[in-house]
Homo-oligomer: A and B are copies of this chain.
């Protein structure tokens, strides 16, 4: 419920500003591209926990909206590197701000120290569960 509630709140904020209807999968893609500059389609698929075909569709979609671009890979002739465009980066920065608002609301409810602890506890569990988990929907 809480995962859903927080994500819904963020998307409501984005929607209220008249942004394109990007889904969480797009957001997780942005986060990955923000953190690494050597992301291929296969790497994205692995990150999202979906097949490379599905990841390719998502990448094509984001490219058509000019949020990311596909560059030739510097050393591997088969691969292409996915990277955020300036528009994509701006979107990420803005989403960060809005997510901050959502987290602030939580901090206001339970107190910032408890929120920090909560972060740490959840992080500890994911680490104990194998370090990473898929970001796919639970359904």
Contacts and interface: CB of A to CB of B under 8 A. Distances in A.
Interface of A: 1-9, 23-25, 105-106, 109-110, 114-115, 117-118, 121-122, 124-126, 128-130, 132-139
Nearest to A108: B128
A116 to B, nearest CB: 11
Nearest to A132: B1
A5 B121 contact: no
Contacts of A1: 126, 132-135
A138 B2 contact: no
Nearest to A137: B137
Contact of A125 (B2, B117, B137, B139): B2
Contact of A137 (B109, B129, B134, B138): B138
A44 to B, nearest CB: 15
A2 B125 CA distance: 7
B4 A136 contact: yes
A128 B1 CA distance: 12
B133 A8 contact: yes
Contact of A110 (B7, B106, B124): B124
Contacts of A5: 125-126, 129-130, 133
A9 B134 CA distance: 12
